[in-house]
Amino acid sequence: MDYAAAIRERLPAVWRGSEFDKLLAELGEYLSEDSVKEVAAAYEFSAAAHEGQHRQSGEPYITHPVAVARILAGLHLDAGTIKAALLHDVLEDTDVSLADIETSFGKDVALLVDGVSKLDKLHFDTALEAQAESFRKMLLAMVKDLRVILVKLADRTHNMRTIDALPPAKRRRIAKETLDIYAPIANRLGIYSLKVELEDLGFASFAPFRYRVLERAVRKARGGKQQNLAKLKTNISRNLAANDIDARIIAREKHLYSIYSKMRRKKIPLSEIADVNGLRIVVTDIDTCYRVLGLIHQLYKPMPGRFKDYIAIPRVNGYQSLHTTLFGPSGVPLEVQIRTEGMDKLAERGIAAHWQYKAVDKHTYSAEARAREWLTGLIEMQKAANYEEFLETVKVDLFPDKVYVFTPKGDIMRLPRGATAVDFAYAVHTDVGDRCVAAKIDRRPVPLKTILSNGESVEIITARGAKPNPNWVNFVATAKARNAIRAYLKGLKQDEARKLGRRLLDQALLPFELSIRKLKKAQVAELLSELGEDELERVFEQVGLGERLAPVVAALIAQQDGDEPNSQVLERKPLQIAGTEGLVVNYSRCCNPIPGDDIIGFLSSGRGIIIHRTVCPNVADFRKHPTKWIPVDWKSSVRGEFQSEIQVRTMNRVGLLAEVAGRISATQSNIDHVTVESDGDASTLLFRLKVRDRRHLAQVIRSIRTNPDVIRVTRLAG
């Protein structure tokens, strides 16, 4: 625009031809005269603040904020974001205060600069807790204003462009952080141009040798493919012109990190990747997209199974386009993308397009709405999850969804690869997930852990009173499902811990001839004050989880009246184990106790009671902590099945494994796992199975021994 040139003419001579001069030229293409003047004022302010400072490369420090601003200008961001980019380091590296920025440029710019400055303090260490806290701060900043993360992404992009000035170890750490965090965020927000650059720059610094090898291989393979691409482009262009279709046809090449990731993911060589080169066809409207698709399929045969309609079903970051892979000239496969002008701009700029179009375009609006919905969901999850779960949630959600399935009503649900019917149920609603008992895919009943595929119709069957199965957490793929199941289990565990803690404390009070029901209000109040707790139920929970020792709590209560333990009741009967205690009573895998075994209980903080056989080798080590051991015994009516392991030594004969397994099944015992080791004429079979008690296990062993080819059967300790 003319006014931009006029502003640049009035610049000091030293600025002319500089990077800032180029920035003003770029801003003049889409910002008003007043906005460009405000940006110039922000530059003068920043240049004065950074006067005398230099980067590690030796350049004046002001070159960095200007480069960041130019990256954002390329995305056509608003004037406020450009000013924040120019000022983003002044709080950290100069004497300028936040109040100074607010006075000079307003509250909006000050908040942006403050948000970016806080993100600059974040360091993604290897420690999970520190990394989770960094993610949490970043998400909170993004929720307040999405432009904060856009400035941070541009800042990281320029830092990666100039990373060669850093030592090798630091380069590698920053490159890994870029590939793990910033590039996926750019992708999740739909900013393809930044995502591609961050990935390639990160790849070049993190694995420089692999980068150079792949770059040479791609360059070598480029020659012949470019000729095919030119021929394809000419033929398609002629055909579209003959059908009165106005289109831009652009040759494109897949970027190196994307090629490398696909080779690793699919374990295939470069020669087998079909979409290294391709064409992008940009037309005026959606109807023309589908017309073009039909015309090019008439020209060249499409490759079966390689067509994707991201217009009807957009990607989770809002990306829309038609993708098809053709058998081009000489039979070489080439990918073609077909989209509208609006879709093309959105694909390059993602949510950054929102500030240019002010959300008038429904595509840009939906992209921003999707980004905010994603961020809001993550913020809700971080309130309930611990740092490990939250970190896992963020990393899962940073990567694009790949599976699109339908509800019985025809609505589309987007889920990550590997999602199961249970994930689908929780995606519909948490209550549906909690109460689901069965599933149907394309009207056929399937197990709940069935992995979903594109295009399937999924129906969830629920039942009143149904509850989540703890085993679901082992196969669900979505963070929402995993967090909902864990939240349910956490509540269940608390309830069970309180019941167990009450029993343990009652038992510990017996030597003092006390019980919980006999406690006076004053005794309870004094105990809670001593322990720093608000309610007795919380104390029960801590005792049940092994976080407090029942004898110690009982002694505190007894001390209030000066009671001494009664020697006649010290040897009262042990805690009775019924097998129905749930998550707070666990059976040790080192010795696999079953009803009928002599057992002892060990209080483990956070887990409750761990049951061991008294003959377990580990018991000797644990006896170093006598206060944590409690006497336990089986109830006369124990319910449930318990894990046990047996070793069967047999002759090496065809079909013998099936015979032994058949004899085990005949005793109504389920086999969980079996391994076979052969050595010459003999074999060793290891069975992990479920039994009711010692009698049931003895029945299993007797049944196996009746086979004449069985040499020996023994029960394993674990």
| DSSP-derived secondary structure for 438-501 | EEEETTEEE-TTPBP-TT-BEEEEE-TT----GGGGGT--SHHHHHHHHHHHHHHHHHHHHHHH
HSE-CB of 426 using CA atoms within 13 angstroms: 25
Which carries the bigger pLDDT value, residue 688 or residue 573?
Answer: 688
Q: What is the mean pLDDT of residues 454-463?
A: 88
Q: Residue 263: which residues within 8 A CB-CB, separation 6 or more?
A: 269, 270, 273
Task: Kindly give the residue spans of alpha helices, DSSP state H, lying in 145-207.
Answer: 147-161, 168-177, 183-188, 192-206
Which of these, 169, 111, 454, 506, lies nearest to 315 by C-alpha position?
Answer: 454
Q: What is the mean pLDDT of residues 94-102?
A: 86
Q: Residue 577: which residues within 8 A CB-CB, separation 6 or more?
A: 585, 599, 601, 611, 632, 633, 634, 635, 638
- Position 522 pLDDT exceeds 60: yes
Which of 153-167, 256-270, 386-400, 629-643 has the weakest average pLDDT?
386-400
How far is it, in rounded angstroms, from Cα 96 to Cα 101? 8
Residue among 59, 92, 442, 564 flagged as catalytic: 92
Q: What is the mean pLDDT of residues 591-596?
A: 90
pLDDT over 70, % of the chain: 81
Q: What is the mean pLDDT of residues 416-438?
A: 90
Q: What is the pLDDT of residue 357?
A: 42
DSSP-derived secondary structure letter, 189? T
Q: What is the mean pLDDT of residues 624-646?
A: 80
- Position 356 pLDDT exceeds 60: no
pLDDT over 90, % of the chain: 16
Q: What is the pLDDT of residue 363?
A: 47
- Position 489 pLDDT exceeds 50: yes
**256-279 exposure pattern, b = at least 16 Cβ within 10 A, e = fewer:** bbbbbebeeeeeeeeeebbbbbbb
Q: Exposed (0-12), middle (13-18) or buried (19+): which is 118, by Cβ within 10 Å? A: middle
How far is it, in rounded angstroms, from Cα 402 to Cα 414? 7
- Top mean-pLDDT range of 215-224, 403-412, 670-679: 670-679
- Position 462 pLDDT exceeds 70: yes
Residue 619 banded pLDDT, cuts 50, 70, 90? confident
Which of 67-71, 435-439, 468-472, 579-583 has the weakest average pLDDT?
579-583
Q: What is the pLDDT of residue 565?
A: 55
Which carries the bigger pLDDT value, residue 297 or residue 136?
Answer: 297
- Position 596 pLDDT exceeds 70: yes
- Top mean-pLDDT range of 290-299, 340-349, 402-411, 566-575: 290-299
Tokens of 703: 């049944």
Rg (CA), the chain: 34
- Look at residue 601 and give its three-state secondary structure: strand
Which carries the bigger pLDDT value, residue 423 or residue 19?
Answer: 423
Residue among 21, 51, 59, 93 flagged as catalytic: 93
Which carries the bigger pLDDT value, residue 3 or residue 201?
Answer: 201
Which carries the bigger pLDDT value, residue 132 or residue 653?
Answer: 653
Mean pLDDT for all residues in the chain: 80
Query: End-to-end alpha-carbon separation of the chain, Å?
Result: 79
Residue 131 banded pLDDT, cuts 50, 70, 90? low
Q: What is the pLDDT of residue 66?
A: 92
Q: What is the pLDDT of residue 481?
A: 85
Give tens-digit pLDDT for 18-62.
788 888 888 888 888 888 888 888 998 988 888 888 888 788 888
Give tens-digit pLDDT for 308-355.
888 888 877 778 899 998 887 777 778 899 999 888 887 777 766 655
- Position 510 pLDDT exceeds 80: no
- Position 447 pLDDT exceeds 80: yes
Q: What is the mean pLDDT of residues 579-592?
A: 77
Residue 94 banded pLDDT, cuts 50, 70, 90? confident
Q: What is the mean pLDDT of residues 244-256?
A: 87
Which carries the bigger pLDDT value, residue 193 or residue 351?
Answer: 193
Which of 43-57, 278-292, 442-456, 556-570 has the weakest average pLDDT?
556-570
Q: What is the pLDDT of residue 704?
A: 92
Q: What is the pLDDT of residue 369?
A: 62
- Look at residue 40 and give its three-state secondary structure: helix
Q: What is the pLDDT of residue 220?
A: 79
Catalytic status, residue 93: yes
Q: What is the pLDDT of residue 361?
A: 43
Q: What is the mean pLDDT of residues 533-543?
A: 82
Residue 126 banded pLDDT, cuts 50, 70, 90? very low
Tokens of 193: 């141009």
Domains, in order of start, for the chain: 2-161 (1.10.3210.10), 219-363 (3.30.460.10), 401-477 (3.10.20.30), 493-634 (no CATH), 642-715 (3.30.70.260)
Which of these, 426, 487, 436, 480, lies nearest to 462 by C-alpha position?
Answer: 436
Q: What is the pLDDT of residue 424?
A: 93
- Position 384 pLDDT exceeds 60: no
How far is it, in rounded angstroms, from Cα 135 to Cα 686? 45
